Structure 1
Amino acid sequence: MFIWQLFLSLLVAFAVNFVSAESFPEELRSDDPDVAKEQKAVYDLILKYQTALNSGDTKTILTLFSPESYSQWNNKPTDDTSEERRKRYKRLFGEEKFETDFQFDSIEVHGNMAFVRTHHERGATVVNIKTGYTSIDLNRELFVLQKINGEWLIRVYMFNTNPIQGEA
């Protein structure tokens, strides 16, 4: 009985690690297992942001930012407080619905700081809620994250619009 329990435990552990590794693109992973583990945590945080963006979830988005953080959007003032960010996202989600799929260009981790570059390979689909007009939003994003009390949080988020995506 003990051998079967051990075998099943090892099988489950392998399956969890396999699924976890598969969901994080190999080309982004460091050869250093400790760095790769942090890269995966950063990757997961950006995916949480993407999910919250696509579902119009301001509350979740606010939890992903550090207390001292900045959001810099095209043609908008910098949001440097949670209240300013809450108003910006609430207004945005009242006007538009998103279907964003971040393509990751790089994830760098240096100590308690991480830098993530993404782009929208096919463009994010944006639907104006009032008119129903659908457009394609081509952006490149830069996320600067900081690990605070063992948790990765967004410290700086900025993007620019550029129809040529993913080029250095």
Structure 2
Amino acid sequence: MRILVIAILLLSAQSFQNKTEMQSTNQNQIKMENSAEKASIENVLYTYGDALNTADVSKVLQVYTQDGVFMPTTLPTATGTEQLKESYSNIFKTIRLNVKFNIEEVLVNGDVAFARTSSKGNVIINATDQSMPEENREFFLLKKENGEWKISRYMFNKSE
């Protein structure tokens, strides 16, 4: 009987160790997958920042989903490709941006993610050529569209 109890304890210990090793392997795999997803998302955000700094409406539209929503401070919400195109075209006629994004947080859950960023630089008013400091906090909701990360919802507000 004593030998049977010892054998059961040894088998239980081995089973627990195998389960722990499998969980550790699965967690490492998830972290690696999330790292790749985060890198893709960061690339989208930096592409968006570049599009802002070059006033490139086409590039802006490439990083949005077809039903994307842009909620700028003090301006109307733009929904869908046509409204996004109109909104960004009007913005770029009015101002030029030179800002740098700082990605503060990216959380991924399946085919949906959110990113929290801040940006800092300057804005030039096209009508007067006046330059002013520009500093914002941004929130992006991203989702996969045809296997690629895209901006689904975006809003920002002034940092100060």
Same-fold status (TM-score > 0.5) = yes
Aligned to 1:137: 134
* 1:114 maps to 2:113: yes
Give secondary structure in 1 for the equivalent of 2:123: strand
More helix as a share of residues: 2
> What amino acid is aligned across from residue 142 of structure 1 in structure 2?
F
> What amino acid is aligned across from residue 75 of structure 1 in structure 2?
T
My pick for the range that moved more, 81-90 or 49-58, is 81-90
> What amino acid is aligned across from residue 75 of structure 2 in structure 1?
K
TM-score, scaled relative to structure 2: 0.79
Aligned to 1:149: 146
Aligned to 1:78: 77
What's the CA shift for 1:74?
A: 0.5
| In 1: Cα distance, 2:74 partner to 2:126 partner | 21
Aligned to 1:126: 123
> What amino acid is aligned across from residue 63 of structure 1 in structure 2?
Q
| Percent identical residues | 27
| In 2: Cα distance, 1:77 partner to 1:93 partner | 15
- The gaps in structure 1 that reach 5 residues or longer are 1-30, 164-168
Q: Name which one, 1 or 2, has greater alpha-carbon Rg.
A: 2
- 1:94-113 aligned at under 5 Å gives the runs 94-113=93-112
Post-superposition Cα deviations, 1:93-132, rounded to whole Å, max 9, x if no partner, equal 1111111101111011110011110012xx3210112211
TM-score, scaled relative to structure 1: 0.75
Runs of 4+ in 1 over 3 A off after TM superposition: none
